[in-house]
Structure 1
Amino acid sequence: IAQENLTQAERNALYEIRSFNRFRKTFVVSIVSDYYRVLQQRDGVTNAENDYKRAVESKDRLEMEAKAGRKNPYEVDQAEQRVLAAGDSLVRAKERYEQSLDEFKLRLVLPTDAEIELDQNELKALAELGISQPDYDLEEAVETALNQRLDLATSRDQVDDAARKVAVEADSLGTQLDLKGAMTVNSTGDTDYSRLRFHDGIYTVGLEADLPFDRKSERNAYRKAMITLERQHRKYENDTDNVKLSVRDAYRELNKAAQTYKIQMNSLKLAQKRVESNTLLLEAGRLTTRDLLDSQDDLLTAQNQLTAALVGHIVAKLNFFRDIGVLQVRPDGMWEQGAR
Structure 2
Amino acid sequence: QDPATSSANIGLTKKIWKTGGQITASLANDLVLYINGKPKVPDLTLKLTQPLLRGAGADVAAEVLKLAERQVVYQVRDFSHYQKTFALNVVNDYLDLLQQADSMRISYNSYTNTIFFRTEIEARADAGLLAEYDVKQAQEDEYDAKLSYIASTNSFQNSLDNFKQELSLPQGTSIRLDFKVLEKINELGLPQVPIDDLTGYSLAISNRLDFLNHIDRFEDAKRSVEVARNSLLPGLTFDAEAKLKDQLYDSFDPNEYDSTLKLKLDLPISKVSERNAYRKSIITFEKQLRTLATQLDTLRRGVRADVRNLARQKASYYTQLAQQKNAEENLLATKERIRLNFPGVRTSDIIRARKGLTSAQQAVSRAIVDYHKTRLKLRKDVGILDTTQEEFWLKTDAMLGGQPGPTPDQQDQEVIPPNQILGD
Same fold (TM over 0.5): yes
Instruction: For 1:27 and 1:139, locate their aligned partners in 2 and report how far apart those are by CA, in whole Å.
Output: 26
Note if contact 1:182-1:205 (Cα within 8 Å) is conserved in structure 2. Answer: no
In structure 1, stretches of 5+ residues that fail to align are: 189-193
Matches within 5 A, 1:1-340: 1-178=60-237, 179=239, 181=241, 207-286=263-342, 287-330=345-388, 334=392
Say which SS state the counterpart of residue 232 (structure 2) adopts. Answer: coil
CA RMSD, aligned part only? 2.5
The unaligned stretches of length 5 or more in structure 2 are 1-59, 401-424
Greater displacement, 257-266 / 205-214: 205-214
Amino acid of the residue matched to residue 158 of structure 2?
A: Q
- The amino acid of 2:168's aligned partner reads V
Q: Secondary structure at the match of 2:195?
A: coil
| Alpha-carbon distance in structure 2 between the residues aligned to 1:271 and 1:56 | 20
Q: Distance in 2 between matches of 1:71 and 1:104?
A: 49
Residue 191 of structure 1 is matched in structure 2 by none
Q: Which amino acid aligns with 1:102?
A: D
User: Is residue 197–residue 300 contact of structure 2 (8 Å, CA) maintained in 1?
Assistant: no
Shift of 1:24: 1.7
Q: Are the equivalent residues in 2 in contact too, given 1:327–1:337 (CA < 8 A)?
A: no
Deviations 1:299-326 (A, max 9, x none): 1111111112112111111111111111
Deviation at 1:123, TM superposition (A): 2.4
| Alpha-carbon displacement from aligned partner over 1:60-87 (angstroms, at most 9, x marks no partner) | 2222222222222221222122222212
Q: Secondary structure in 1 aligned to 2:265? A: strand
Contact 1:41/1:93 (8 A) holds in 2: yes
CA apart distance, 1:45: 1.1
What SS does structure 1 have at the residue aligned with 2:173?
coil
SS class of match (1:111): coil
Contact in 2 for aligned 1:102/1:112 (Cα 8 Å): yes
Change (3 A) 1:196 1:51: farther
SS at match of 2:386: strand
Code of the aligned partner of 2:106? N
Identity across matched positions, percent: 30
The structure whose Rg is larger is: 2
Check 1:169–1:272 CA distance in 2 against 1; reply closer, same or farther (3 A cut).
same
Mark the CA change 1:61 to 1:196 in structure 2 (over 3 Å): closer, same or farther.
Answer: farther
Indicate the SS of the match to 2:128: coil
Q: How high is the TM-score relative to the length of structure 2?
A: 0.72
Secondary structure (helix, strand or coil) at the match of 2:191 reads coil
Distance 1:196 1:308, change over 3 A: farther
AA of the residue aligned to 2:197: L
User: Counting helix residues as a fraction of each chain, which structure ranks higher?
Assistant: 1
Q: CA deviation at 1:150?
A: 2.0
Structure 2 letter corresponding to 1:79: A
Task: Write the distance in 2 (CA, Å) between the matches of 1:109 and 1:296.
Answer: 41
- Following the alignment from structure 1 to structure 2, what is the Cα–Cα distance between the partners of residues 216 and 26? 46
Report the secondary structure of 1:285's partner residue.
coil
Cα deviation, residue 223, structure 1: 2.0
Which deviates the most, 297-306 or 141-150? 141-150
With over 3 angstroms needed to count, the CA separation of the structure-2 counterparts of 1:250 and 1:132, relative to structure 1, is same
Look up the equivalent residue of 2:116 and give its one-letter code: E
SS in 1 for 2:174: coil
Alignment deviations for residues 26-69 of structure 1 (CA, whole Å, 9 cap, x no partner): 21221111111111110111001110111111112222222222
Corresponding residue of 2:406: none
Conserved 8 A contact 1:321-1:337 = no
Give 1:197 deviation, angstroms: 8.2
The 8 Å contact of residues 166 and 222 in structure 1, kept in 2 or not, is answered as yes
| Mapped partners of 1:242, 1:176: distance in 2 | 45
More RCO (CA 8 Å, sep 6+): 1
Query: Structure 1 length as normaliser, TM-score?
Result: 0.89
1:116/1:222 Cα in 2 relative to 1: closer, same or farther (>3 Å)? Answer: same
The Cα shift of 1:124 comes to 3.3
- Native 8 Å contact 2:242 2:257 kept in 1: no
In structure 2, distance between residues paired with 1:94 and 1:261:
24
Work out the CA distance in 2 between the residues paired with 1:38 and 1:206.
77
Query: After superposition, what is the alpha-carbon deviation per residue over 1:147-202, rounded to whole angstroms, capped at 9, x for unaligned?
Result: 222222221122221222122222222222342758697687xxxxx889899998
Q: After the TM superposition, which of the residue ranges 81-90 and 289-298 deviates more from structure 2?
A: 81-90
Distance 1:61-1:9 versus aligned 2 partners, 3 A rule: same
Q: Against the structure 1 CA distance between its residues 337 and 282, is the aligned structure 2 distance closer, same or farther, given a 3 Å change threshold?
A: closer
